Chain A
Amino acid sequence: MRTIRKFEFLNARTIDEAVNTLAAYKGKAWPFAGGTDILRMMRFQPLPENLYPEVLINLKTISPSLEYIKEEDGILSIGALTKLVDIANNALVGERYSALANAANKVASPQIRNMATISGNICQLTHCLYFSKPDNRFHCLRKGGSECPAQLGDNRYCSIFGDVNGCVAVNTSDIAPALIALNARIKTNKRMVNAGEFWDVRVPGSTILDEDEIVVEIQVPRPPPDAKSVFMKFSIRSSIDFPIVNGAALIGDGVARIALNAVAPKPYRATKAEEVLKGKTIDETAAEEAAIAAVSEASPLSFNKWKISVAKAIVKRMVLNTKSR
């Protein structure tokens, strides 16, 4: 049986202690939230030796706790360590920020949602079939290698919007598109970042975070009263699976924001579709036009043209779903 990679576990008591420890270990320490993504990685061991953490820093023990949901002055604040189950079941989130509640409810399975946190979800490692193979079988670009095996290989689930830094793996966070559509901000111990600028493609990380930086809070401005937000996800198994394409939209009251994920190495804001909808009444024609515009810049790889149709259908349905209140 595959054995898990060994590591030390440190309980951080404060945000400062967590980030100071991260800084001291120079990339050899990683934050640990719900652990559902990180422990899989430590078991499968897809990375080369030099990239593994030696220490996992438990953020759960930070005081005051980073697990909370509150709304003040028109801003919803969610602590980084808040579990997805609690976001999915929160009445306030469900009512006013429904895309976020629905996205949280569509991540994996109840067991995962009972463990997984919002910060872990948005910081999960972007992966493809090759990246995930055990024992660094494919030393790809995101592991410090020199080529991307997916570009010429099995890329049926990969990006339809080109590469970022040569990588065509897709970001599979279900929470990410909801945060972008809802115009959320991500607060770290160092700065405040707009959700649209939070993701990146690095070796091996998937965010813009520095080695000694952690997410501490997610802030979502309350949408205008007559705007409606929706989330939609297509996956192979509907019961529990990563998204093949997902998306979120916030439309109405003069606002149109549409984001897709699992279609590119970073979450994809469908600005062309947003422009099409400006000043229009939502109907079948407008939704179809928006869907066409959303994928107008797609450039599929050898095996994933089909994902364009999926993305189009998702945009169209999301737009139509924001119509009925």
Chain B
Amino acid sequence: MSTRISFILNGSRVTVDVEPWESLLDVIRKKLGLKGTKLAFCRGACGGCGACTVIIDGRAVYSSILPAYKVDGRNVITIEGLASPEGLHPLQEAFVEAGAIQCGFCTSGMLMSAKALLDENPDPSDDEIKDALRGNLCRCTGYVKIIEAIKLASKRMRRPAGGG
């Protein structure tokens, strides 16, 4: 029996009919057409790779094992909500500059975990960054450049634009 749910997706209200067994990931990709959030090897049964990470009410979660039904009335941010009309988010820019992207499959999930971290802790230590990324797998970069990118973004976001 499908249910109509309504939630804030990347700043705009969306209303959509969902089946109880449909994951948020399925709904975002198939019904709402946002393909930036990825489904990986788990095929939705969750091996903890993090490619499907989105932010709900400020916290990073796996959208593949969350029934869409449960986000009714909540605030969801996906990778598509990161950039603004003015340009890329500082985290996205830093990922590009630091070479933190190779095949790119993990990138959207990594960015969402990184955003959840910086929103709560604007100046994280290396260990705090590593802890925040524990639920995201990257099989290309070896993580070093991803951590560098997050540090770079954190530095820029704390400094007012144009400042030295």
- Counting contact residues on chain A (CB < 8 A from B), the size range is 20 to 34
Chain A residues whose C-beta falls within 8 Å of the C-beta of B1 in the assembled complex: 8
- Closest chain-A Cβ to B135's Cβ sits at a distance in Å of 2
**Smallest CB-CB separation from A134: which chain B residue?**
B45
| Interface status of A7 (Cβ within 8 A of chain B) | yes
Please encode chain B, from 60 to 81, with 1 for each CB lying within 8 Å of some chain A CB and 0 for all others: 1110011101100000000000
Given A39-B23, A115-B65, A110 and B60 touching (CB < 8 A)? Answer: yes
Stretch at the interface among B46-54, B91-99, B147-155: B46-54
Stretch at the interface among A40-48, A211-219, A288-296, A299-307: A40-48
A-B contact pairs, 24 of them (CB 8 A): A2-B45, A4-B21, A4-B44, A6-B21, A7-B20, A7-B21, A8-B20, A9-B69, A35-B70, A36-B65, A39-B46, A40-B46, A44-B45, A58-B70, A60-B70, A85-B59, A109-B50, A109-B135, A110-B131, A111-B48, A111-B62, A112-B135, A114-B59, A240-B48
**Smallest CB-CB separation from A110: which chain B residue?**
B135
| Interface status of A56 (Cβ within 8 A of chain B) | yes
B21 engages A42 (CB within 8 Å): yes
Q: Which 5 residue pairs spanning A and B have beta carbons closest together?
A: A109-B135, A9-B20, A43-B45, A114-B59, A111-B135
- Closest chain-B Cβ to A131's Cβ sits at a distance in Å of 14
| Interface status of A286 (Cβ within 8 A of chain B) | no
A43 engages B113 (CB within 8 Å): no
Further pairs besides A43-B43, A111-B53: 11, Cβ < 8 Å: A7-B20, A7-B21, A9-B3, A39-B65, A39-B67, A43-B46, A109-B50, A110-B116, A111-B50, A115-B65, A239-B135
Chain A residues whose C-beta falls within 8 Å of the C-beta of B135 in the assembled complex: 108-112, 239-240
Complex formed: what's the CA distance from A60 to B69 in Å?
12
- Closest chain-A Cβ to B137's Cβ sits at a distance in Å of 8
**Smallest CB-CB separation from B3: which chain A residue?**
A9
B21 engages A5 (CB within 8 Å): yes
Complex formed: what's the CA distance from A44 to B66 in Å?
15
Q: Of B22, B45, B60, which one neighbours A40 at CB under 8 angstroms?
A: B45
Complex formed: what's the CA distance from A110 to B135 in Å?
6
| Interface status of B134 (Cβ within 8 A of chain A) | yes
Chain B residues whose C-beta falls within 8 Å of the C-beta of A6 in the assembled complex: 19-21
The A-contacting residues of B in range 118-147, CB under 8 angstroms, are 131-132, 134-136
Chain A residues whose C-beta falls within 8 Å of the C-beta of B53 in the assembled complex: 111
The B-contacting residues of A in range 45-62, CB under 8 angstroms, are 56, 58, 60
- Counting contact residues on chain B (CB < 8 A from A), the size range is 20 to 34
Chain A residues whose C-beta falls within 8 Å of the C-beta of B132 in the assembled complex: 110
**Smallest CB-CB separation from A11: which chain B residue?**
B69
- Residue from A4, A8, A112 whose CB has the most chain B CB atoms within 10 Å: A4
Complex formed: what's the CA distance from A56 to B20 in Å?
9
Q: Of A1, A4, A112, which one neighbours B48 at CB under 8 angstroms?
A: A112
A109 engages B45 (CB within 8 Å): no
Chain B residues whose C-beta falls within 8 Å of the C-beta of A39 in the assembled complex: 23, 46, 65-67
- Closest chain-A Cβ to B102's Cβ sits at a distance in Å of 19
Chain B residues whose C-beta falls within 8 Å of the C-beta of A40 in the assembled complex: 45-46, 65
The B-contacting residues of A in range 129-178, CB under 8 angstroms, are none
**Smallest CB-CB separation from B117: which chain A residue?**
A110
B134 engages A35 (CB within 8 Å): no
Please encode chain B, from 14 to 47, with 1 for each CB lying within 8 Å of some chain A CB and 0 for all others: 0000011111000000000000000000011110
Complex formed: what's the CA distance from A1 to B134 in Å?
26
The B-contacting residues of A in range 1-19, CB under 8 angstroms, are 1-2, 4-9
**Smallest CB-CB separation from B20: which chain A residue?**
A9
- Closest chain-B Cβ to A182's Cβ sits at a distance in Å of 24
- Closest chain-A Cβ to B17's Cβ sits at a distance in Å of 14
Chain B residues whose C-beta falls within 8 Å of the C-beta of A56 in the assembled complex: 20
B67 engages A9 (CB within 8 Å): yes
Complex formed: what's the CA distance from A240 to B138 in Å?
13
B20 engages A114 (CB within 8 Å): no
